[in-house]
């Protein structure tokens, strides 16, 4: 960052410069009265809304009434936030089993929009939003895009597909709510995206991080000058964003990038969003979501700030009032105020799911650990692919990683030493010795949408 | 005078060599000698070409991992014991030949641990050192008439 860089968030590099200088007063906050409220006040809002939500679910959704009756818990039993633990969990299977409208709390004429999440197996999950739900969702998005320095008047280009996937419309409505002009370009046709950025003066790009990287690379090949481009902000979602990849995109496209967290079953994107003070965490919209972190095996809460499975209860959601949704996402939540001035709790970015975990020779291995190690090795890119194989009853972990062009030398000895160095670093973290394969630059597929990192070839 | 060898990192799979050669053709680069060796998983392709800078630029544009290594090109007399004689010079001085491959007929390429010293040593021996310019000239001559000698 040059000393002369502007701290004006509307200028390229301004938001990052202001954050680097600790000048968070220069960054916008959409709803300071809640985002910077004292914790007692946040918790008071949560408790009031939790009581209403539980009563609403009990009255309107037969599934919850039956479940709560079976467990011997009534809405009046919810007197503190900790009482949420007396309520039943909701798993994705419940939404699937009640497909399509079993959990809906309002008749369809009060629903303004339906969305669905793709089911990898069997039926999809369908969710419905009332007018109030849409307003709440838009507000959550408006808050998180402002954390990245997006302001009214920005021109935002959508590179997510629209359709029933919540990412596209969620960001679209939230950015409009803030006062941005939306360009609903949709997915695909990378060269056209770049042309539109130039033609329409796009300042904000909404994309998956892997697609943003692809746009970056295609632009570079076309000779497009990202430094001179009007593009200023990247809003990422749709897949986890490895820190190394984000840093690389920021450097090569000369933009600031943040990502947000959310899932269709509780709303969609916007449950939490990254601020520029804590780039490995995201502020939860706590007035709209009550969070818990539990041990995925026992269902009991983990200690303050410890890693566990995130459980979410949307507060005041009308279309589908979900109680204690088990996300299967692993995170830890921190409640100390943030340097950005927000008091809303921060969750560590979700790097792994309780069901992503690979058990190799009895050791738990998370793909995110592999990514962390590779990010710290300058000779390779953050792109990777994991293969797990069995040979004679033994599990083998193979990690493919991409060589950076400048790290190549005309010597098998040097290349092999690099391979051994990477394997040793991985072993130190994973506690399992992997085989490392060096792949030529660009040799690891850049997935558009959910990047596939793991190929488990063991017989299930 | 050393010659600029272009080395390319490539995964061992069908087409890896032809991809590079196609790129050279597009860039108007003529290959005068090459070697491909691999570990079964990845390999290093090595080329001696008439226009190394253009070759490198074309590969870098494609995002290839490639580099330039100074190597020696020698023209041997086509007689028994000639190769042994030249290698003997380097061996006696403790210079290791890391790899070697032949170009056209008796033109061979050596990659050594100390290219400058090896060149100086060989310059005082009855062996012809080929320069980058010579290689370009052979190519140019070849375009005009049959095969150069
Ligand atoms: Zn913050």
What is the per-residue pLDDT across A165-224, written as a single tens digit (0 to 9) for each? Answer: 788 999 999 999 999 999 999 988 999 999 999 999 999 999 999 899 999 999 999 999
For residues A46 and B30, the model is more confident at A46
- For the segment(s) A11-38+130-351, the CATH number from 3.40.50.1100, 3.40.50.720, 3.40.50.12780, 2.60.120.1140 is 3.40.50.12780
CA of A313 to the centre of ligand 1 (A): 22
Contact B65 A439 (CB under 8 A): no
String of b and e for A226-235 (b: at least 16 CB within 10 Å)?
A: beebebbbbb
| Percent of chain B whose pLDDT exceeds 90 | 28
pLDDT of residue A191: 95
Over residues B101-130, the pLDDT tens digits come to 888 656 777 777 788 888 888 888 778 888
Q: Considering only alpha carbons, which residue of chain B is nearest residue A413?
A: B98
Q: Tell me the C-alpha to C-alpha distance, in Å, between residue A201 and each of A49, A155, A162, A214, A338.
A: 42, 7, 22, 20, 33
String of b and e for A329-363 (b: at least 16 CB within 10 Å)?
A: bbbbbebeebebebbbbbbbbbbbbeebebebeee
CA of A343 to the centre of ligand 1 (A): 8
Contact B39 A416 (CB under 8 A): yes
Q: Of the candidates B9, B46, B69, which has its C-beta nearest A403's C-beta? A: B9
* Chain B contact set for A410 (CB, 8 A): 5, 7, 44, 46, 67, 69, 111
Q: Considering only alpha carbons, which residue of chain A is nearest residue B69?
A: A410
Contact B111 A410 (CB under 8 A): yes
* Preferred mutation among A385, A410, A415 to probe B, highest tally of B CBs within 10 A: A410
Q: Tell me the C-alpha to C-alpha distance, in Å, between residue B9 and each of A62, A444, B24, B42, B52.
A: 63, 15, 15, 7, 16
Task: State whether ipTM is beyond 0.90.
Answer: no
Domains belonging to chain B, first-starting first, are 3-109 (3.30.2130.10)
Contact B98 A407 (CB under 8 A): no
pLDDT band at B49 (very low <50, low <70, confident <90, very high): very high
For residues B60 and B144, the model is more confident at B60
Residues of chain A with pLDDT below 70 are 1-5, 118-122, 447-451, 460
Q: d(Cα B66, Cα B60) in Å, to the nearest integer?
A: 7
Nearest C-alpha of chain B: how many angstroms from A442?
7
Domain A358-456: CATH superfamily, name plus number: ANL, C-terminal domain (3.30.300.30)
Q: How far apart are the first and last CA of chain A?
A: 50
* Preferred mutation among B45, B61, B65 to probe A, highest tally of A CBs within 10 A: B65
Q: Of the candidates B37, B41, B98, which has its C-beta nearest A437's C-beta? A: B41
| A11-38+130-351 and A358-456 have identical folds | no
pLDDT(B148) > 60: no
* Chain A contact set for B42 (CB, 8 A): 415, 437-440
Nearest C-alpha of chain B: how many angstroms from A292?
46
Contact A438 B67 (CB under 8 A): no
Query: Mean pLDDT for chain A?
Result: 92
* Chain B contact set for A437 (CB, 8 A): 41-42
CA of B46 to the centre of ligand 1 (A): 52
- pLDDT-wise least confident of A287-291, B46-50, B72-76: B72-76
pLDDT of residue A5: 65
* Residue pair A440/A454 in contact by the 8 Å Cβ criterion: no
| Bridge partners, residue B46, by sequence | B7, B35
CA of A141 to the centre of ligand 1 (A): 15
The H or E element that residue A15 is part of is: helix A14-20
Which two tokens mark B110? Answer: 């050596």
Over residues A64-83, the pLDDT tens digits come to 999 999 999 999 999 999 99
| Claim: this prediction has a pTM higher than 0.80 | no
CA of A282 to the centre of ligand 1 (A): 7
Q: Considering only alpha carbons, which residue of chain B is nearest residue A435?
A: B41
Query: Mean pLDDT throughout B68-74?
Result: 91
Domain layout of chain A by residue ranges: 11-38+130-351, 358-456
Neighbours of A184 (CB within 10 A): 12
CB pairs under 8 A between A and B: 49
């Amino acid at each position: 960052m040059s000393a002369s860089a502007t701290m004006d968030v509307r200028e390229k590099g301004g938001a990052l410069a202001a954050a680097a200088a600790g000048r968070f007063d220069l960054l916008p906050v959409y709803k300071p009265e809640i985002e910077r409220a004292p914790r007692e006040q946040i918790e008071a809002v949560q408790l009031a809304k939790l009581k209403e939500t539980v009563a609403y679910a009990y009255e309107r959704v037969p599934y919850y009434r039956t479940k709560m009756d079976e467990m011997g818990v009534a809405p009046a039993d919810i007197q503190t936030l900790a009482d949420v633990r007396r309520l039943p969990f909701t798993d994705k299977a419940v939404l699937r089993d009640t497909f399509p409208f079993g959990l809906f709390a309002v008749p369809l004429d009060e629903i303004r929009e339906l969305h669905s999440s793709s089911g990898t197996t069997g039926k999809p999950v369908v969710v419905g939003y009332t007018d109030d739900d849409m307003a709440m969702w838009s507000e959550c998005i408006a808050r998180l895009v402002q954390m990245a320095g997006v302001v009214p008047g920005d021109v935002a280009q959508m590179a997510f597909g629209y359709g029933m996937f919540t990412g596209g419309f969620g960001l679209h409505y939230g950015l409009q709510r803030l006062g941005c002009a939306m360009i609903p370009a949709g997915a695909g046709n990378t060269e056209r995206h770049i042309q539109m950025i130039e033609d329409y003066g796009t300042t904000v790009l909404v994309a998956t991080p892997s697609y943003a990287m692809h746009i970056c690379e295609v632009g570079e090949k076309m000779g497009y000058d990202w430094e001179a481009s009007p593009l200023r902000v990247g809003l990422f979602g749709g897949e986890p964003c490895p820190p190394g990849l984000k840093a690389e995109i920021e450097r090569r496209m000369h933009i600031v990038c943040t990502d947000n967290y959310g899932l269709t079953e509780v709303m969609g994107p916007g449950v939490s969003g990254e601020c520029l003070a804590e780039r490995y965490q995201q502020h939860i919209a706590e007035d709209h979501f009550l969070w818990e972190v539990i041990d995925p095996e026992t269902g009991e809460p983990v200690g303050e700030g410890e890693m566990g499975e995130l459980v979410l209860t949307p507060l005041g959601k009308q279309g589908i009032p979900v109680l204690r949704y088990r996300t299967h996402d692993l995170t830890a939540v921190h409640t100390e105020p943030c340097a950005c001035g927000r008091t809303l709790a921060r969750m560590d970015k979700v790097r792994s799911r309780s069901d992503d975990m690979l058990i190799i020779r009895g050791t738990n291995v998370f793909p995110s650990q592999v990514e962390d190690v590779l990010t710290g090795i300058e000779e390779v890119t953050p792109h990777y692919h994991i293969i797990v194989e069995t040979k004679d009853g033994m599990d083998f972990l193979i990690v493919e990683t991409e060589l950076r062009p400048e790290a190549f030398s005309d010597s098998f000895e040097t290349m092999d030493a690099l391979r051994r160095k990477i394997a040793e670093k991985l072993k130190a973290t994973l506690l399992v010795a992997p085989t490392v394969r060096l792949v030529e630059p660009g040799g690891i597929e850049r997935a558009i949408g959910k990047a596939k990192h793991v190929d488990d070839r063991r017989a299930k | 005078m050393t010659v600029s060898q272009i080395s390319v990192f490539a995964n061992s799979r069908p087409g890896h060599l032809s991809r590079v050669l196609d790129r050279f053709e597009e860039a108007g680069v003529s290959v005068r000698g090459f070697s491909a060796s691999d570990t079964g998983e990845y390999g290093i392709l090595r080329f001696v070409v008439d226009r190394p800078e253009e070759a490198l630029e074309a590969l870098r544009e494609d995002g290839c991992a490639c580099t330039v290594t100074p190597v020696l090109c020698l023209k041997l007399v086509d007689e028994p014991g000639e190769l042994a004689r030249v290698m003997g010079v380097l061996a006696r001085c403790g210079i290791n030949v890391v790899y070697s491959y032949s170009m056209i007929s008796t033109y061979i390429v050596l990659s050594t641990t100390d290219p400058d010293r090896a060149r100086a040593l060989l310059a005082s021996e009855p062996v012809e050192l080929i320069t980058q310019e010579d290689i370009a000239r052979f190519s140019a001559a070849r375009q005009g008439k049959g095969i150069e000698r």
